[in-house]
Amino acid sequence: MNDIKKFLMFDFMLTPWIIRVLYAILQFALIVISLLSMIFRDYYTLGFDFKSSLALLVGGTIVLRVFFEVLMVQFKVAENTSEIKDVLKKKE
């Protein structure tokens, strides 16, 4: 019952889990598209040659990770602020 109360009172954040799943899906898609365009560059290139596909794989992975880390920082700050608030309440 306590978990339901936390969920309804927004003490439990659902969005970080959604962000993690979305990151995993996008990362997998980026890897698959990059590798397919490297392997089948004669048939299915998406306009990429081998070097461009490699740059997409490396650069895209870094950019995707940084973007999702920036999103997650907001939730970590909120989580840490909540923990600080709880510690201060216990001290009173």
Amino acid at 63: V
Q: 20 by DSSP, 3-state: which?
A: helix
Residue 45 burial by Cβ neighbours in a 10 Å radius (0-12, 13-18, 19+): middle
- Stated pTM of the model: 0.77
- Count of the separate structural domains present in the chain: 1
Residue ranges making up the domain that contains 28: 2-91
Q: What is the pLDDT of residues 3-30, one digit of tens each?
A: 788 778 777 788 889 999 999 999 999 9
- Least confident window among 24-28, 56-60, 81-85: 81-85
For 2-49, where are the alpha helices, taking DSSP H only? 2-8, 15-39
